[in-house]
Amino acid sequence: MWTTIFVGIYVLLTLFIVLSIILYGAKPTKSLAWLLAIFALPVGGMIFYLLLGRNRRKRKLIRLKKNMFSRLPWPNTAQKNVFNGRYSKLMTLCYKSSHFPPTSNNELLLLKDGRTTFEAIFYALENATIQIHIQYYIFEDGELAIKLFELFKRKIEEGVVIRLIYDGIGSFSLSKKYLNQLVDIGVEVYSFLPFKFGRYFSSLNYRNHRKIIVVDGAIAFTGGINISDKYLKGQVGLGKWHDMHLRLEGPSAKQLDQVFMTDWYLVSTKLLQPLELSPRNLDSVSNELVQIVAGGPDDDFPVLEQTYFSLINMAKKYIYITNPYIIPGQSLIRALQTAALSGIDVRLLVSENADNRVVSWAVHSYFELFLKSGIKIYLFPDGFLHSKIMVSDDAISSIGTANLDDRSFEQNYEVNAIMYHKEFAKLLKEDFLNDCKVSNELRYNEFIKRSWGKKLKEGFGKVLSPLF
């Protein structure tokens, strides 16, 4: 009797899971992989699917976002006569998918390393008078954390409101003692999707990879740099961390504040009111056109993948990309290959050293395909290169948090700034070429002679990369 009941439950559960995969699987290859896993390992495959494969958490996030959009007060940053010129279609794409229009009257400052970045950040924080919004994927204990705590304490005594979001997985090493101290002095602190065993195990897939600071709704910072001492001191066994950040002032800072406020609603269900910038603040900055692009698993379309795809396809002379994790899907592979085969100068700059060996193998697994297409690849040998930069044709550039992989496009909450500005693009191009001069260029005829052992590692890395 019990055997019959068990078999019946097993058959019904298997049928339910198979139908779920067929009906809701977004990618045929991924759906096929799950089906094969279930039939090859009946019990184990089903358990893994129930824990990792279902999109229950994603559907909940989508519902929450729709509710949020109907309630949040969106600031009016729309301006006339900005949806024009060569990149008007890209502007429209990003606006429809991410809801932020391009804005003028912005001032930009490129911050080329950790020390310069934190000097600019602390200067802005010290001058805050109303509120400070901080959001990071990685927030670690250390000298920076202590310095921030001391600053927070002073600012709260001055009446400044401070709100902090940290990712529940990326900042797993942040001590409870430090967090409790922040709460004790009056900082409003929330963890983004903290992992709780037995409940929404699939939330591990959806991380907030954004790095945002907004001071008084007027000055903002974003880019690749987290709150970690390794950006100042380096990392044992890896060396110096090379990264870039961006300081923005003007309407684009207001848009980054809105990104923070949407995430604040996700973690707290509390609505925040945007601060109104005075005309004097807007008039005091320069005329640089910027568009904030925020993407996440609760979006209808993979806006950051679409943005990168469009930037590559719209290039006429060159497209230069700096990124530590280039593990692209077929659409971006084809876009990069097509650009290179069309005579466009396509260059990729990646770190020669790795913070994750398996991911590094996955990145290297695409090199032969790229080199064969005429794409130039440079390996940066000094420490670890963590920047996420794209620049094209001395006309347009992107700095942000998104890598070139499916995790950034489909599972992480990310944010990039698109700069439609010639001088800024030239600045990034110059920096890119200087890095290439001190890097090791790969040659196709030499690379294809690598050992079978390396090829095997690359294969394993490609297969396992979705887990990292």
| Per-residue pLDDT tens digits for 383-402 | 999 999 999 999 999 999 99
> Which pLDDT score, from 0 to 100, does residue 282 have?
47
**Same-domain pairing of 113 and 38:** no
> Within a domain: residue 338?
yes
> Which pLDDT score, from 0 to 100, does residue 280 have?
42
Q: State how many domains the chain has.
A: 3
- CATH code for position 420: 3.30.870.10
**Same-domain pairing of 382 and 460:** yes
> Within a domain: residue 116?
yes
> Which pLDDT score, from 0 to 100, does residue 419 have?
98
Write out the catalytic residue numbers.
Answer: 209, 211, 216, 386, 388, 393
> Which pLDDT score, from 0 to 100, does residue 58 have?
59
> Within a domain: residue 74?
no
**Same-domain pairing of 262 and 307:** no
Q: What is the mean pLDDT of the chain?
A: 88
> Within a domain: residue 294?
no
Q: Is the pLDDT of residue 315 over 60?
A: yes
**Same-domain pairing of 112 and 257:** yes
Phi/psi of residue 229, each to 5°?
-65, -20
Residue with more model confidence, 427 or 286:
427
What's the token pair of residue 89?
């279609």
What angle is formed at CA 386 by the lines to CA 382 and CA 388, rounded to 5 degrees?
A: 130
Instruction: Over range 367-394, report the average pLDDT.
Output: 97
Instruction: Over range 252-260, report the average pLDDT.
Output: 96
Note the pTM of the prediction, 2 decimals.
0.88
What's the token pair of residue 198?
């037995």
> Within a domain: residue 96?
no
CB 221 within 8 A of CB 81: no
> Within a domain: residue 76?
no
Instruction: Over range 314-338, report the average pLDDT.
Output: 97
**Same-domain pairing of 112 and 251:** yes
For residue 285, what pLDDT band results from cuts at 50, 70 and 90? very low
Domain that holds residue 194: 105-286
**Same-domain pairing of 152 and 21:** no
> Which of 104-113, 203-212, 296-305 is modeled with the greatest confidence?
104-113
* CB neighbour class for 179 (10 Å; exposed up to 12, middle 13-18, buried from 19): middle
> Which pLDDT score, from 0 to 100, does residue 461 have?
86
Q: Is the pLDDT of residue 197 over 90?
A: no
What Cα–Cα distance (Å) separates residue 186 from each residue in 133, 149, 162, 183? 14, 11, 8, 5
**Single residue among 235, 260, 286 that ends a domain in this structure:** 286
Residue with more model confidence, 19 or 374:
374
**Single residue among 261, 286, 311 that ends a domain in this structure:** 286
**Same-domain pairing of 308 and 430:** yes
**Same-domain pairing of 223 and 177:** yes
| Per-residue pLDDT tens digits for 408-426 | 998 899 999 999 999 999 9
**Same-domain pairing of 177 and 251:** yes
**Same-domain pairing of 315 and 353:** yes
**Same-domain pairing of 41 and 151:** no
| Per-residue pLDDT tens digits for 135-173 | 999 999 999 999 999 999 999 999 999 999 999 999 999
> Which pLDDT score, from 0 to 100, does residue 82 have?
73
Neighbours of 3 (CB within 10 A): 7
Q: Is the pLDDT of residue 354 over 90?
A: no
Which amino acid type is present at position 419? M
**Same-domain pairing of 334 and 274:** no
**Single residue among 257, 286, 315 that ends a domain in this structure:** 286
> Within a domain: residue 145?
yes
| Per-residue pLDDT tens digits for 33-64 | 666 666 666 666 666 666 665 555 556 666 66
| Per-residue pLDDT tens digits for 1-17 | 667 766 666 667 677 76
Instruction: Over range 293-320, report the average pLDDT.
Output: 95
> Within a domain: residue 65?
no
Cα gap 389→244, rounded to integer Å: 8
Instruction: Over range 248-274, report the average pLDDT.
Output: 93
Which amino acid type is present at position 179? L
**Alpha carbon distance, N-terminus to C-terminus of the chain:** 44
